[in-house]
Amino acid sequence: MHTELILNVRVYETRIALVENGAVVEFYLERSSTEGITGNIYKGQVVRVLPGMQAAFVDIGQPRAAFLYVADVDSQTTEFERMLDGPGGMETFSPDDGLDTEVLMEGFPPSDPFQIEDLLHEGQEILVQVSKEPMGNKGARVTSHVTLPGRHLVLMPTVDHIGISRRIVDEAERQRLRAMVETLRPPDYGYIARTASEGVTADKLESEKAFLVTLWQNIQHQAIHAPVPSLLHQDLDPTLRTVRDLFTREVDRLIVDSELEHLKILNFIDTFSPYLKSAVQLYREPEPIFDFYDIETEISRAMARKVWLKSGGYIVIEGTEALQSIDVNTGRYVGKHNLEETILKTNLEAVKEIAYQLRLRNIGGLIVIDFIDMEREANREKVRNALIEALARDKAKTNVLKMSELGLIEMTRQRTRDNISRVLREPCFYCQGEGHLLSGSSICYEAFRNVEREAVQTLSDSISLTVHPRLKELLLDEERHSLNELEQRTGKRVSIHEDPTLHIEDYRVEAE
């Protein structure tokens, strides 16, 4: 399988596409105006304890209080000062939170039956790490079980456990890594050997271990004197986080269109994985990188409500607050022999597309799939097994229940951030929220990309961008820095004009 990481980096946003055999399978977007906080460590304060929900709300300095579930509380620590004294013994730990999903936690100790009111009280100061981004009206989810990921290792200072990435399948290599990590770790510290650690020498692991331990000790020291709430540790920026978490031996090439980011990546790799330097390439062509690799088309397809199948059938993807629903239809496909065969073939084709769309759109939470009804139990089981197989390459954890007699499959998929539709869209003010529009920022950035295309083709020194009045205000205010950077990069002056007759999503780009 040929795998590539394509990075489109601008001052206003970073877009990352993981491409397998020419198809975009994962898409990540982070904007400078809404920088992600997953992985950040805060000194927070408990503002409310909810015994009925076995959870608490923690003020970490964000607009909404963070949510801390009882299973994510360090059960060996009831006061912040005691937690700073050092790691405990075999404490509870939730492997779903704050830890890379590539990890296999075999033989992990079960959670102890503590009550939230026995562990926390209002006004208590606590050290927490963000495990899930704020989504919609919900605040971030946090945990007191800190994990510090490096390139090859993940340090777990509150857990006495060693784990090996499940993507390392060679048993001899797994045993080698386990033995090396066991000799490296201080007492009561836990480690995970990540996929990138395969084949790495003991010296390399020792160096990274020392770095992570020192980092944790510095965080503890800062926490003693820091005010409440305060940020103690910030995770890497999107580019280096991509290199750390996604750029493994399985990736054939990493291609980035920013010279500055290219140098940052090379310096980072030179320290941790110099053997990967030859796979890093700087994209220098005038055509925008996502156009060149036909990724823009896939992103547009990922926001479509209806997705057509090659046979002529289609699936419809709808989202609500509670769940995501996916409906499978035969559409134009009429089959060749009998109805049951036609339905089975459509359902099996839909399975592959559904698994692909879940991963691409980053759809998580509760998902209900309405397959076309099948009479035979064997066919229903065949479709379910095909879905489980299609989801095998998905790094997010999934749980697929049996298909009901009505053709419904209920499943869950791990959710760590908003899906692509929520990031790129906002409620429509034309239809009072019944539908969706592209957000103002998304329209501006799409217009910027079209200005880049026009700049390549025209000899004129100036380009006219005509937009809806609301967009003009946004461009000249919040996006002024991005607009100036666009002019510097293209060498063209961009003049902004307004046309109130334009739809909010429409604009015109013309050479002057």
Length in residues, the chain = 512
Asked if 468 and 506 count as a contact pair (C-beta separation under 8 A), the reply is yes
Predicted confidence (pLDDT) per residue in 84-129, tens digit: 333 332 222 233 333 343 333 333 334 446 788 888 999 999 999 9
Please state the pTM of the whole predicted model: 0.75
Q: How many other β-carbons are positioned within 10 Å of the β-carbon of residue 89?
A: 11
Query: Which sequence spans correspond to the domains of the chain?
Result: 3-35+238-297, 41-233, 305-419, 428-511
Instruction: Tell me which of 2.40.10.10, 3.90.1170.50, 2.40.50.140, 1.20.120.420 is the CATH number of domain 41-233.
Output: 2.40.50.140
Run of H or E including 167: none
User: What DSSP line would sit under 443-462, residue for residue?
Assistant: HHHHHHHHHHHHHHH---SE
The token duo for 55 is 């959870």
The token duo for 170 is 């060679």
Asked if 30 and 13 count as a contact pair (C-beta separation under 8 A), the reply is yes
Strand partners of residue 326: 317, 369
Q: Which amino acid is at 269?
A: I
Predicted confidence (pLDDT) per residue in 351-391, tens digit: 999 999 999 998 988 999 999 988 889 999 999 999 999 99
Q: Which residues contact 304 (CB under 8 A, 6 or more apart)?
A: none
The token duo for 316 is 């419809």
**Mean pLDDT across the chain, nearest whole number?**
85
Category of 455 on φ-ψ map: left (φ > 0), alpha (ψ -120 to 50) or beta: alpha
Q: What residue has token string 């959710």?
A: 415
Strand partners of residue 318: 325
Please give the chain's pLDDT, 512 residues, in tens.
Answer: 789 999 999 999 999 999 998 889 999 988 877 778 889 999 999 999 999 889 999 999 998 999 999 988 865 443 333 333 333 322 222 333 333 433 333 333 344 467 888 889 999 999 999 988 887 778 899 999 999 999 899 999 888 888 998 888 889 999 999 999 888 766 678 899 998 888 888 888 888 888 899 999 999 999 998 999 999 999 888 899 889 888 887 889 999 999 999 999 999 888 778 888 999 999 999 999 999 999 998 888 888 889 999 888 899 998 877 889 999 998 776 656 678 888 899 999 999 999 999 999 989 889 999 999 888 899 999 999 999 999 988 888 899 999 988 889 999 998 767 778 877 887 777 776 667 788 999 999 999 999 999 999 999 999 999 999 999 999 999 999 999 999 999 999 999 999 999 998 999 999 98
Give me the CATH code for the 3-35+238-297 domain, please.
3.30.420.60
Fold of 428-511: Hypothetical Protein Ychn; Chain: A, (3.40.1260)
